[in-house]
Structure 1
Amino acid sequence: MHNYWRQCGYGLLDKTADGHLVVTDAFLRSLLERPELAPVAESCAGELALHHALLDHPRAEVTPQQLAAVSDEDARANYTIWLRFRQRLLAQPTLEGSYMQLFRGEGVDVPPLLVQQLTQILLRHILGAEASALQVRAAEMLFRTQKVSVLEDGQVMAADDETVERHAVAAGFGTIGEMLKQGGAPLRTAELDVLGEANADAYWQRDESHDLVISLNHGQPALVALCSVLARWVRHFLGTGVAIAIEREIDDEQWVWHVGLDAQASAVLNDLYQGNDVAPERMERMLCLFRLQFDEPSVMRPEIAGRPVYLAMAMDAGGRLKLKPQNLLLNLPLARLS
């Protein structure tokens, strides 16, 4: 039993009888304490008054006059964003419903940082306290960009992109950052903290440091853990069980459905499905292919019930992997949404 990601805000939310999350005033207050909104020494009287009023009543209506009284343009813009985000959070009875609604319509209109926080909170809830360290580390891939490096010996390593940038040449970080920035260093010459089954317990002391590397090679436990995370993500939101496993290739004359887990993979899968030529360098950036099967084919569209859904993930030209877990919620061939 582990209580991880304590700073994400999960502990401030309530739960419904059927296991979904509900936004609380305490959670809204925590958003007001973010650096973008917390008052500073230069904050004007209007900004201080608005901040105090919202801390007292985080669901209170804010008038145009109150916003106009915030003299700093950046602070005023941040409050406008916060109010729009609050509106999105409270638009549905549960956080799950609000999260799904963010991606419908004309597109997401709140900052990616806030969407990533919601994703992290929802994953914390879905995985629970009994998740393995490798499942939790794999889940980070769904809300934090990864920097991927293919080493000379063929190992495919993923590290947190922000951490790599911050510590690339910092003392005490070993050579992981520089190795991943440059690429191609043999593993035996790099001082890496690679998370695996043998040292999995190390994660729990560093769960919010985002400084552990995982291998994305076939047969490695991190990919198996990712399959489990994605399957639980689908079950929680869509109410239907799925099994997800790693595939080597799509050798299927009746290939009928696919979902890219990121923009790069979506584009490649679309081209392959349509019979278009795909440049070798784009294929080389494909990191993994998955096969998704529904436990109950009857939940699928009748014309394709029982057929597999192929998933894929790929890094971009800069070696970054930016997964979009919402793709799995919006693009599966369901007869109806739960």
Structure 2
Amino acid sequence: MKDFWRGSGYALLGTTPEGHLVVTNDFLRSLLMRPELAPVNESGPQELALHEALMAQPRMVVDAALLDAIEDPDARDNYAIWLRFRERLLAHPTLEASYAALFRGEGVDVPPLFVHQLTQILLRHILGARATAMQARVAEMLFRTQRIAIQDDGQVMAADEETVERHAVAANFGTLGELLKHGGAPIRAAELDVLHADAQERYWDRDESHDLVISLNHGQPALDALCRVLERWVKHFLGTPVRIQPEKEIDEEQWVWHVGLDAVSSSVLNDLYQGHEVAADRMAGMLCLFRLDFEEPGAMRAGIAGRPVYLAMGMDADKRLKLKPQNLLLNLPLARSD
């Protein structure tokens, strides 16, 4: 049993008897200690007083006068953003419900970094302490942008974008492939280690380094691990068991529903489904196709019960993969959506 992603704040949350997460005062305090809000030498007395008061009572009401009194305008804006995020967190009895609610209505109104932190925490909870190393690594793809490199031998490699850029800035040259581009020309390649099936345990010593590369080719363990993670994600939030597996192509006669796991694949799948011609460069960005089947067909909308749901993920023109696991919570054809 492994404890991982300790810096996410997961250990500060409570749980309900049903196994869902609950926001605690200690978790709210941890958010107040983020770099955007933690006091610095230049912090004024009003800012310091508010921070101290919130650390003592993280759920206290902060009226407009207290907020306006903060001396630094950037700090004032940061507190306003934090208070809006706190409101979203506390609007529902569980973190799962608050997370799902972020994506309904007129759109997300909190910074992506907060959304990514919540996604990581929820994945940590869903995976539990018995997650395999490969499952933990592929789960990172759901809250951290990946940079994709397609090698000469056809290997499709995914590396953490932030790590790749950090290595490039440090002039850490290597041979993995063209992971960074600027103006269409390669500038540096990052020297990163590949997480192989026979050496997965190395992940646990580097779980917060985000410096292990994985192969996204069919037949590789990363895709199987991603399927298992997505199955558990759906089951935890929606309460219905599903089976997900990599697929080579879409069976046109079976195609009644699809969900893109990112903006790129959503656009391509929509165009294909509507019979529009898709340019070759857009098709080239499609990295993986999956088939999702409901284990209980009655959980699906009437009329399409028993039919598969096709999923896909794709990279953008800059070879970035930005997965949106919330798409599976919002767009599956559930019976109760009728």
Q: Deviations over 1:184-234 (max 9, x none)?
A: 99xxx9954100111101000000000000000111000100000000000
Normalising by structure 1, we get a TM-score of 0.96
Q: Residues 55-94 of structure 1 correspond to what in structure 2 (within 5 A)?
A: 55-94=55-94
Question: 2: distance between equivalents of 1:18 and 1:122?
Answer: 15
Shift in Å, 1:170? 2.2
Q: How many residue pairs end up in the alignment?
A: 333
Q: Quick check: 249-258 or 214-223, which moved more?
A: 249-258
Amino acid at match of 2:134: L
**Is the Cα–Cα contact under 8 Å of residues 261 and 313 in structure 1 kept in the other structure?**
yes
Which residue is 1:309 aligned to? 309
Q: State how far apart, in whole Å, the 2-side matches of 1:223 and 1:66 are.
A: 50
The one-letter code matched in structure 2 to 1:114 is F
User: Corresponding residue for 1:288?
Assistant: 288
1:175 aligns with 2:210: no
Give SS of 2:82's match.
Answer: helix
Structure 1 window deviating more from structure 2 (117-126 vs 61-70): it is 61-70
RMSD, matched Cα: 1.7
Displacement after TM superposition at 1:254 (Å)? 3.3
Which residue is 2:19 aligned to? 19
How far the C-alpha of 1:178 sits from its partner, in A, is 7.0
Cα offset, 1:158, TM superposition: 0.3
Shift of 1:155: 0.5
* 1:32-181 superposed matches below 5 A: 32-170=32-170, 173=172, 175=174, 179-181=178-180
Consecutive unaligned residues of structure 1, counting only runs of 5 or more, are: none
Residues 152 and 184 in structure 1, CA contact (< 8 A), matched pair in contact too: no
* Matches of 1:58 and 1:118, distance apart in 2: 18
Once residues 111 and 190 of structure 1 are traced to their aligned partners in structure 2, the CA distance between those partners, rounded to angstroms, is 28
- Confirm or deny that 1:228 pairs with 2:214: no
Name the SS for the 1:292 alignment partner. strand
**Paired residue secondary structure (1:74):** helix
- Offset of residue 169 of structure 1: 4.7
Question: How much has 1:166 moved relative to structure 2?
Answer: 1.0
Per the alignment, in what secondary structure is the counterpart of residue 197 of structure 2? coil
Q: Residues of 2 paired with 1:184 and 1:129: CA distance?
A: 43
Q: Which AA in structure 1 matches 2:179?
A: L
The answer on whether the counterparts of 1:300 and 1:335 sit within 8 Å (CA) in structure 2 is: yes
C-alpha distance in structure 2 between counterparts of 1:177 and 1:31, whole Å: 36
Alpha-carbon contact 1:168-1:178 (below 8 Å) kept? no
Normalised by the size of structure 2, how large is the TM-score? Answer: 0.96
CA distance in 2, matches of 1:248, 1:184: 32
Aligned residue for 1:241? 241
- What is the distance in 2 between the residues matched to 1:139 and 1:226? 7
- d(CA) in 1 for partners of 2:118, 2:260: 21
Which whole-Å CA distance do the structure 1 matches of 2:185 and 2:130 have between them? 36
- C-alpha distance 276-28 of structure 1, shift in aligned 2 (>3 A): same
The answer as to whether partners of 1:147 and 1:320 remain within 8 angstroms in 2 is yes
| 1:299 is aligned to 2:299 | yes
Deviation at 1:252, TM superposition (A): 2.6
SS of structure 2 residue aligned to 1:148: strand
Where does structure 1 differ by over 6 angstroms across 4 or more consecutive aligned residues?
A: none
Distance 1:176 1:321 in 2: 21
**CA–CA distance in structure 2, aligned partners of residues 61 and 278 of structure 1:** 52
Identity over the aligned pairs, expressed in percent? 70
Q: Which amino acid aligns with 1:278?
A: V
Q: What per-residue deviation string (whole Å, max 9, x for no partner) do you get for residues 257-311 of structure 1?
A: 0000000000000000000000001001100000000010001001110000000
CA–CA distance in structure 1, aligned partners of residues 307 and 153 of structure 2: 36
> Could you tell me how far apart the structure 1 residues matched to 2:53 and 2:320 are?
41
2:176–2:190 contact (8 Å) kept in structure 1: no
- Structure 1 residues 67 and 198, CA, compared in 2 at 3 Å: closer, same or farther? same
**Secondary structure at 2:291 match in 1:** strand
Distance 1:184 1:206 in 2: 31
Question: Shift of the alpha carbon at 1:68?
Answer: 1.1
Contact 1:286 1:313 in 2 (8 A): yes
Which residue number in structure 2 is paired with residue 2 of structure 1? 2
SS of structure 1 residue aligned to 2:179: helix
Q: Take 2:185 and 2:247, find their aligned partners in 1: how far apart are those partners?
A: 26
Looking at structure 1, the residues matched to 79 and 7 of structure 2 have their Cα atoms a distance apart, in angstroms, of 22
The SS at the match of 1:207 is coil
Q: In the alignment, which residue of structure 2 is the partner of 1:319?
A: 319
> Helix, strand or coil: the match of 1:108?
coil
Q: Which ranges in structure 2 are unaligned for 5 or more consecutive residues?
A: none
